[in-house]
Amino acid sequence: MSDDAVTLMKQQVGKAAADRVQSGTIVGLGTGSTTAYAIQYIGERLQKGELKDIKGIPTSFQASVLAKKYGIPLTSLDEVDRIDVAIDGADEVDPQKQLIKGGGAAHTREKIVDSLAEQFIVVVDSSKLVDKLGLGFLLPVEVIPMAMTPVMRAIEGLGGEPTLRMGVKKAGPVVTDEGNLVIDVKFANGIENPADLEKTLNNIPGVLENGLFVDTADVILVGEVKDGQPSVREV
Ligand SMILES: O=C(CO)[C@H](O)[C@H](O)COP(=O)(O)O
């Protein structure tokens, strides 16, 4: 699949999600390149007057910067009593709608916002659909820095192969918006039981949150390109 086709799929699916946002709602704004298009289109609908009285809750520094760029007013969890809809990307989606997220190291805030939403809409291109989680994408685990080594040992004890995520064009590790580290974990045979693993990992002292999103997604919108024609389907 060419880069152009992937970009087209991301744009289409981001727009489809933005079209579902209604006036007067509180909207969780996810992180990543696909959600960035949703944020852009929500902003465009606001500017055109198609949408009114929206407030966004960003899941990351990136989402907050984009929301400001596209004119979406922001609020926080302290100021609202609900989130009507959240739109967010994913790194893998299985047939049961379970997800791996955290490719952008934002999964802790994403899980807080996405799981509070009345409706969580996941936006992905078709390359993200998998039969089994964890075979193609390593599972991100956010860890408090002083616990890095014991957490890595504990993960090895669970049969995982942990790697500290390193920065690109930055010496040293990736540091999350919360000031923590990310350990990416390979499970050689993939993830057998996402619900159990999500809990087991979060029970290791020093782990803040992992990227398994179990029974959180309500709607999966998938961007596709067939014969050069983009389309979006719901699974
Ligand atoms: O979980 C995430 C960030 O932590 C992203 O939603 C996920 O990595 C997908 O990103 P993209 O839309 O760029 O492929």
Task: Write down the domain spans for the chain.
Answer: 3-129+215-225, 139-208
103 close to ligand 1 (CB < 6 Angstrom): yes
Question: Ligand 1 atom 6: the closest Cα is on which residue?
Answer: 89
Give me the CATH topology for the region 139-208: Alpha-Beta Plaits (3.30.70)
Question: What residue has token string 């994403």?
Answer: 110
Q: Which residues are tagged catalytic?
A: 110
Among the listed residues 173, 169, 184, the one whose alpha carbon sits nearest the alpha carbon of residue 137: 184
**All residues at 6 or more sequence positions from 110 whose CB lies less than 8 Å from its CB, including other chains:** 30, 31, 59, 60, 88, 101, 102, 213
The bridge status of strand 181-186 relative to strand 117-125 is unpaired
223 close to ligand 1 (CB < 6 Angstrom): no
Give SS3 for 63. Answer: helix
Distance (Å, rounded) from C-alpha 142 to C-alpha 209? 5
pLDDT of the residue at 10: 96
Q: 181 and 166 in contact (C-beta within 8 Å)?
A: no
Distance (Å, rounded) from C-alpha 162 to C-alpha 229? 40
pLDDT of the residue at 203: 98
Q: Is 101 annotated as a binding residue?
A: yes
What spacing in Å lies between the alpha carbon of 147 and ligand 1's midpoint? 25
91 close to ligand 1 (CB < 6 Angstrom): yes
Q: 156 and 148 in contact (C-beta within 8 Å)?
A: no
Q: Which CATH number fits domain 3-129+215-225: 2.60.120.10, 3.60.21.10, 3.40.50.300, 3.40.50.1360?
A: 3.40.50.1360
DSSP for residue 205: T
Which of ligand 1's atoms lies nearest the C-alpha of 101?
1
What are the pLDDT tens digits along the chain (235 aa)?
Answer: 788 889 999 999 999 999 999 999 999 999 999 999 999 999 999 999 999 999 999 999 999 999 999 999 999 999 999 999 999 999 999 999 999 999 999 999 999 999 999 999 999 999 999 999 999 999 999 999 999 999 999 999 999 999 999 999 999 999 999 999 999 999 999 999 999 999 999 999 999 999 999 999 999 999 998 888 889 999 9
pTM of the model as a whole: 0.97
108 close to ligand 1 (CB < 6 Angstrom): no
Distance (Å, rounded) from C-alpha 114 to C-alpha 108? 10
